Amino acid sequence: MNMHDFIQAFEEALELPGGQIKPDTVLSSIARYDSMGRLSVMAMADTKLGVVLDADAMERCRTISDLHALVQKPV
């Protein structure tokens, strides 16, 4: 999944309006990326990519780019 599609899927998972999220957006700045938001992103990665994300590895991601890299190569 390329970065553009990933951002779109991320926004859909968190029910965010399109266009706000960039690759260098810091995850902790996204209010909806709370505990429930993380679950939604995990569900998205599982459904769309067949990838079960490791919660500790997700915790270590700082930006959208980091998260994108993780879903490409899950721990």
Partner 1 sequence: MNITRWASIEAIRSCLPEKVVTNAELAPELGWTAEEILAKTGIAQRHVAGPKECVSDMAVLAAEKLFHECAADRAEVEFLILCTQTPDHLLPATACLVQERLGLPNHCAAFDINQGCSGYIYSLGLASALIRSGMARCGLVLTGDNYTKFINPKDRSVRTLFGDAATATLVRASEAPGLDHFVFGTDGAGARNLIIPAGGTRFPRGDQTAHAMTDASGNTRSQNDLFMDGPQIFSFTLKRVPELLSGVLARSGLKVSDIDWFVFHQANRFMLDHLRQKLKVPPEKLVWFLQDVGNTVSSTIPLAIEHASAQGQFHPGQRLFLAGFGVGFSWGAALLQWPNPKR
**Which of residues 11 and 48 has its CB atom nearest to partner 1 in the complex?**
48
Single residue of 38, 61, 63, 66 touching partner 1 by CB under 8 A:
38
Single residue of 12, 22, 55, 62 touching partner 1 by CB under 8 A:
55
Contacts of 33 (CB under 8 A, 6+ apart): 14, 27, 41
Tokens, residue 29:
């700045």
Interaction of residue 47 with partner 1, rule CB under 8 A: yes
Interaction of residue 39 with partner 1, rule CB under 8 A: yes
Contact 56, 38 (CB under 8 A): no
**DSSP state letter for 69:** H
3 state DSSP class of 6 = helix
Interface residues toward partner 1, by CB under 8 A: 34-36, 38-39, 42-43, 46-47, 52-56, 58-59
